[in-house]
Amino acid sequence: MNTILRLLTVPMALLTVAAQAADKPNIIVIIADDLGYGDVSCNGATELQTPNIDKLAQQGLRFTSGYCSASTCTPTRVSLISGTYAFRIPRSGIAPPNGPAIIKPGTETVASILKRAGYATAVVGKWHMGLGDPAPDWNNELKPGPLEIGFDHCFLLPTTNDRVPQVYVEDHRVRNLDPADPLWVGDKKPAEDHPTGISHRHTLRMDWSHGHNGTIHNGIGRIGFYTGGMKARFRDEDLADEWVKQSNAWIEKHKDGPFFLYFSGHDIHVPRMPHERFQGKTKLGFRGDAVIEFDWCVGEIMKTLDRLKLADNTLIVVCSDNGPVLDDGYKDGAVEKLGDHKPAGPYRGGKYTVFEGGTRIPFVTRWPGRIKPGVSDQIVCTVDLAASLAALTGQSVGEGACLDSFNVLDALLGKEGAKGRDHLLQQDNNGAKLGLRVGDWKLVRMKGSTPSKAKKGKAAKNPPARGQLYDLSKDPGETNDLAAQNTDRLQRMNDLLDKIIADGRSRPAK
């Protein structure tokens, strides 16, 4: 009898291992920069086409209520990686060129969780979450950085391309930096005769409309100043190609898996300077051309997965870091050539706002054989990737970690009857303005603007605004403020928002 049991146990053990392996797919998160809900044709865009994103949507799940947690670059990325709303994390607004690492070593992140699960982990593309402590040491080791919070490898644009410096960071160092030509980065002109977008405006090939008038590189003014590092500098037009090249090489190296790749595009963010082969391919100017360049990046990664026969065992998530913006500091024709295109789709606002256009984004998941193709109206958010991918790979999340990340895995996989979030907080850059969606209702207010409590019999002196209230089921464009007609609901939502802020977390403690 014991012999029979032993014989039966071996196949069962093998089946268990196989089942566990099936639940550890390769994972690729592809995040665009400034891509609006209405910028992709699967969400209704007609003035340009995004066939590769559309293909993923046709083969997977397209979310109509997919969100990022903030309406600017850095805070959304901080919350995606850390699983915690960025307003809770110091210095998590838009990172300056010499900003330190925002996510500190020892923080549990989506990368460290997956690394613990046996994944090889990498980030390729825009970082913009700071490097070093208390500031980046551009000519030596740039640490802490991604490698100190769970990534095995990184190939980065260190800040964002409208900010200096225009160099790649590979793991802990600036790539191709010549020690004889050290890199200096600062917030003041290094010398009176240093060429800038103000002093040498006549030399620019892309003029600035506001703010981007510091050091000139590649004929484009930037925020901030830098000198040196000439051999390390890149050409704007080549960014997308380099991201694809680096990503495909890393996937090939880790094809035996499991692997996690965080692919962070920059294309649609200013300065928009797509590769020459994309320039003029749309009638929307460089912004439209940059959208189709990003779509090309998605397609190139898909081709690599197909070539390596990895597609069926790879979960892909496509999303954006915030909603769209047209004039964001450069005169690149985005406003003049907009035509009938609606970058935010039917939604109000865009980048920098907490209206729906600022945080409701293209959001697609695909995993052949595991995700049934379709459309979901469940509320999911990029901040939830940490807890959801932990659940997918059999990992637990630390009690004091990922404080706002919910396990919405079943919703991401489109399981029948699965529910996404029942509420979602949205923030602007520094969290001064907040949005709270609960079901179909949306509260918009300043962070500290809760109703003042007056002494009995007296009106409150200069009470802060109670906020705006919208019914998204009837008014997705947030044009009709219903706060005055729904005071009880307004109060309940204000109370919930205050609680989320005061509790320091929204993911329930165990």
Of 377, 392, 421, which one is at a domain's C-terminal end? Answer: 421
Position 57 pLDDT exceeds 70: yes
Could you give the 3-state DSSP secondary structure of residue 63? Answer: strand
Tokens, residue 200 = 């040498």
Query: What per-residue confidence (pLDDT) applies to 448?
Result: 67
Looking at the structure, tell me whether residues 159 and 249 fall in a common domain. Answer: yes
Contact 240, 293 (CB under 8 A): yes
- The model's pTM is 0.93
Is residue 83 included in any domain, yes or no? yes
Of 365, 387, 421, which one is at a domain's C-terminal end? Answer: 421
Which residues are 174's β-sheet partners? 169
Looking at the structure, tell me whether residues 443 and 340 fall in a common domain. Answer: no
Dump strand ranges (E) for 439-505: 441-446, 468-471
Contact 122, 152 (CB under 8 A): yes
Is residue 53 included in any domain, yes or no? yes
Is residue 379 included in any domain, yes or no? yes
Structural domain boundaries, residue 164: 24-181+233-421
**Which residue has 């992709």 as its token pair?**
40
**Which residue has 């003049």 as its token pair?**
336
User: In CATH, what number is assigned to the domain containing residue 489?
Assistant: 3.30.1120.10
Looking at the structure, tell me whether residues 361 and 468 fall in a common domain. Answer: no
Is residue 206 included in any domain, yes or no? no
**Which residue has 């399981």 as its token pair?**
415
Looking at the structure, tell me whether residues 436 and 463 fall in a common domain. Answer: yes
Q: What is the pLDDT of residues 202-256, one digit of tens each?
A: 999 999 999 999 999 999 999 999 999 999 999 999 999 999 999 999 999 999 9
Is residue 307 included in any domain, yes or no? yes
Looking at the structure, tell me whether residues 368 and 457 fall in a common domain. Answer: no
Q: What is the pLDDT of residues 151-190, one digit of tens each?
A: 999 999 999 999 999 999 999 999 999 999 999 999 999 9
Looking at the structure, tell me whether residues 472 and 344 fall in a common domain. Answer: no
Is residue 278 included in any domain, yes or no? yes
Looking at the structure, tell me whether residues 389 and 442 fall in a common domain. Answer: no
Looking at the structure, tell me whether residues 173 and 38 fall in a common domain. Answer: yes
Looking at the structure, tell me whether residues 331 and 461 fall in a common domain. Answer: no
What is the per-residue DSSP string for 207-251?
-BSSS--SBEETTEE-BSEEE--GGGB--GGGHHHHHHHHHHHHH
User: In CATH, what number is assigned to the domain containing residue 401?
Assistant: 3.40.720.10
Selection from 292, 272, 333 nearest residue 39 by Cα: 292
Cα dihedral angle (391, 397, 401, 404), rounded to 10 degrees? 30
Q: Strand 184-186 and strand 216-217: pairing?
A: unpaired
Is residue 148 included in any domain, yes or no? yes
Amino acid letter, residue 295? D
Looking at the structure, tell me whether residues 324 and 362 fall in a common domain. Answer: yes
Contact 184, 176 (CB under 8 A): no
Position 496 pLDDT exceeds 50: yes
Domain count, the chain: 2
DSSP structure class, residue 415: -
**How high is the mean pLDDT of the chain?**
93
- How far is it, in rounded angstroms, from Cα 3 to Cα 114? 38
Q: Strand 173-174 and strand 169-170: pairing?
A: antiparallel
Q: What is the pLDDT of residues 70-107, one digit of tens each?
A: 999 999 999 999 999 999 999 999 999 999 999 999 99
